[in-house]
Amino acid sequence: MNNTTTVVMLLDNPLISDSRVEKEAVSFINSGFNVIVYCVSDKNLPSEETRNGIAIKRILSTFFQKPFGKNYNEELKLFANKILQVSFDILHCHDYLLIPLAALIKQKEPGIFLTYDSHEYLIGWPYYKEIPSLVNRLKGYLVWRRMLQNEKNASKSINALLTSSTAISSALKKRFKLPFAGISVRNIPEFKKLDPTISLRETLKISNNRKLLVHSGSVYMPLKFIEQLIRLINNSINLSLVFIGNRSIHGDLKEEYREAQHIYFIDYQPNLLLDQLASCDAGILYTRSKSYKAHQLGSSNKLMEYGLAGLPTIGTDQPAHQELKEQFHHIELFYENNITSFKSATNRMIDLLPEKKKNAEGIKHSLSWKNEFRPVIELYKKVADRMAEA
């Protein structure tokens, strides 16, 4: 491989912290590539810096958030020309907001190899539905439709597709009518040696007679289901539940259920998360698979975090969970928004807990970011070799 091959990444945030993006960039650097990330400017951050070998250039405005904006096309051309001032071989676009910019760069320099790294399954994520105001919801719908059209138009220019699950890869291949298959790259955390001295059970003073369930991260459960879940734990003789999070709903639930029995809330601490998860008995993974196709076909960070912590999982019935269940036999599935189904899955988990824990332990020895991302590294090395020979 030509060790001077440069990968330019496009990113729709200021790269304060973005674990997937940074893991990918560092993986490229460790494989001999140069990496430049062009991202959004931020008055509180330097316009240029180097982090872990990644050259970060914060030059982009947020024009891409308003595809109907009067200056949208002008800024598209402006930033395409700015980025093309640098010589590079591979353009790696993170997510849908910047894929029109990537396609324009490719149009100006057809020899560039363009990868679309689709973090979200946009057509399966009609986010506008959550906007409270009817007028703003209508505007949101129109913006969503325009972004979908921009994404589909830009897909004609891409040479490779990365997604977070095999199901999304298949769906986007069909939607974009691609002549090649997508590469599934699940967001597997970097493995760390777990600290056995960190125990949520001890911290929260939970009796050994009670099995400790944990829900980590964003809460997608409907309020009625949350009420039913709290009641189930309250009435149980052998279950406790801890929520780990930092979103506003986490604080709201903590306030509302401060008197609930055997329910706990702790703040998210990224450096401690895997250790804390590993000290629990089973994780809860609830997604809105009925409401959002993106959830149904996706693979959540939570699924990978639970796995790397060796934690058996009670998860909604959907492809990514089914795949991992068939591979490791550590997951019990339940139907979304069905507390009876959840209770049955929990009972099955508790009945088979020693076996499920043993199965889950095998995950951290089988899954790794390095292995997950290897197909992308191999692809880029082949591209680099071809370009070196040209």
pLDDT tens digits, residue range 31-58?
A: 999 999 999 999 999 999 999 999 999 9
Closest CA to 159 of 90, 206, 212, 214: 90
Sign of CA dihedral 140, 145, 147, 148: positive
Closest CA to 154 of 122, 185, 127: 122
**Helix 319-328 and helix 301-308: axis angle, to 10°?**
20
Percent of the chain scoring above 90 in pLDDT: 81
323-350 per-position pLDDT tens digit = 999 999 999 999 999 999 999 999 999 9
Strand locations in 83-210 (E): 90-94, 113-117, 160-163, 183-184
CA 161 to chain centre: 16
Q: Is 67 left (phi over 0), alpha (psi -120 to 50) or beta?
A: alpha
Put simply, whether the predicted model's pTM sits higher than 0.85 gets the answer yes
Residue 18's pLDDT is what? 87
Average pLDDT in the chain: 94
Sign of CA dihedral 289, 285, 128, 123: negative
DSSP H or E segment with residue 167: helix 166-176
Bridge partners (DSSP) of residue 265 are 243
Residue 257's pLDDT is what? 92
Q: Tokens representing 146?
A: 């325009």
Closest CA to 91 of 73, 111, 72, 75: 111
Closest CA to 185 of 53, 383, 380, 385: 380
Average pLDDT (190-202) is: 88
Residue 3's pLDDT is what? 58
Bridge partners (DSSP) of residue 216 are 244
Closest CA to 342 of 256, 246, 184, 229: 229
Q: Is the pLDDT of residue 296 over 70?
A: yes
Q: Is the pLDDT of residue 181 over 90?
A: yes
**pLDDT class of 291 with cuts at 50, 70, 90:** confident
Residues contacting 376, CB < 8 A, separation 6+: 24, 27, 162, 183, 185
Lowest-confidence segment of 139-143, 153-157, 191-195, 299-303 by average pLDDT: 191-195
DSSP state of 281: S
Q: Is the pLDDT of residue 127 over 70?
A: yes
Average pLDDT (267-278) is: 91
**pLDDT class of 301 with cuts at 50, 70, 90:** confident
φ, ψ dihedrals at 85, nearest 5°: -70, -20
Q: Tokens representing 363?
A: 């995950």
Residue 316's pLDDT is what? 95
Q: Tokens representing 389?
A: 């020979």
**pLDDT class of 1 with cuts at 50, 70, 90:** low
Residue 259's pLDDT is what? 87
